[in-house]
Homo-oligomer: A and B are copies of this chain.
Amino acid sequence: MSAVNVTDTREEEAVVTSATDAAVNTISNAVSNSVSNTAQSYHHGDLRTALLNAAAKRLSEHGVDSLSLRKLAEDAGVSRTAPYHHFKDKSALLSAIAAKGFSDWHSTAKRIFEQEDKTPSARFREFVCEYVGYAAANPEMYELMFGRTIWQNNAATGDLKDVAFPCFQFQVTMTKFWQHKGLLPDNQDALRLAQVTWGTLHGIARLLIDGIYADSSHIQEMCDCAADLFMQASNKA
C-alpha cells in the first residue's frame, strides 16, 4: 500500500497513512456521490447526507452495533471528528436515520390504510402482515427505530419526535376507524386499544427479530392468529 520507508517515529507514519487514505476516499466520493465529480480538497459539499447514506448502508449490511462515527467518517472520506459539525453526537445521527425510517413507514401505513378498493377487514389483515413483515425484512432499521438506543433517557431528538409522533397518532386514527367498522371492540378506549394492538405487533416483531422462541418461517401464521384474535374480540362487544 505505502511505499514510504518505515521510520522509527510512529507519528510520521500515521500522518502519511492518513493522507493516503484521504486521497483514496476522495476518489470513492466522486464515484458514489452522483452530484459532483471533481475532487474537492477540503470541504466535502454535502457531508450530512453522505453520512446518512453511509450509515443506512452500514446499518442494513452490518447491523446497528457496527455503526461508529469513525467508520462513517471514513466511509465519507473525511476525518473522524468532522461529523460533529453536522450532528451533536452519535445519538443525534442515529436519530436522524430513525426519523427517515419513521417517515417511510408512515407513508407505507397510509398507503395500506387508504386502499379504497379493499374491504376494511382485508386492509386490517394486510396492515398486520406488512407491519411484522417490514420489521422482519429490515430488522436493523426496526431495531434502531424502536430500540432503546434512541429512546432511553428521553434522548430522542426533537426532530425525531416530530416525525415519530404523527406515526404513533396514525395508529390511533386507524384504531378508531377499525372500531367504527366493527373490526375491533367498540367498548375500549381507542388510545388503550391502539397501544395494545400496536404492542402486539411490536412484541411479535421483536420476538422474531431477536429470535426468541419464534422464527420467521411462521410469520404468516402468527399474523393471522393475531388478526383473528382481535377481530374475534369485536364480536362480543
Residue of A185, A230, A232 with most chain B CB atoms under a 10 A cut-off: A232
Chain A at the B interface: SS class: helix
Evaluate contact between B146 and A212: CB separation under 8 angstroms: yes
Evaluate contact between A200 and B210: CB separation under 8 angstroms: no
21 intermolecular pairs with C-beta atoms under 8 Å apart: A148-B209, A151-B210, A185-B228, A188-B229, A189-B225, A192-B225, A195-B204, A195-B213, A195-B225, A198-B213, A199-B200, A199-B226, A200-B203, A201-B203, A202-B203, A229-B230, A230-B233, A232-B236, A233-B233, A233-B236, A236-B236
Evaluate contact between B229 and A185: CB separation under 8 angstroms: yes
A192 to B213, CA, bound (A): 11
Q: Quick check: is A38 within 8 A (CB to CB) of the other chain?
A: no
Evaluate contact between B210 and A204: CB separation under 8 angstroms: no
Q: Quick check: is A206 within 8 A (CB to CB) of the other chain?
A: yes
Nearest 9 pairs of A and B residues by beta carbon:
A203-B203, A199-B203, A202-B203, A199-B204, A232-B233, A233-B233, A192-B225, A232-B236, A200-B200
Of the listed stretches A72-80, A105-113, A214-222, chain B binds: A214-222
A93 to B146, CA, bound (A): 26
* Chain A residues within CB distance 8 Å of chain B: 63, 65, 143, 146-148, 151-152, 154, 165, 168, 185, 188-189, 192-193, 195-196, 198-207, 209-214, 218, 221-222, 225-226, 228-230, 232-237
Evaluate contact between A151 and B211: CB separation under 8 angstroms: yes
Interchain nearest-CB distance for A98 vs B (Å) = 11
Q: Which residues of B contact A207 (CB under 8 A)?
A: 195, 198-199, 202
Evaluate contact between A225 and B210: CB separation under 8 angstroms: no
A228 touches which one: B63, B65, B188, B222 (CB < 8 A)? Answer: B188
A203 to B151, CA, bound (A): 15
A210 touches which one: B152, B198, B235 (CB < 8 A)? Answer: B152
Interchain nearest-CB distance for A221 vs B (Å) = 5
Interchain nearest-CB distance for A142 vs B (Å) = 11
Interchain nearest-CB distance for A182 vs B (Å) = 13
A151 to B65, CA, bound (A): 13
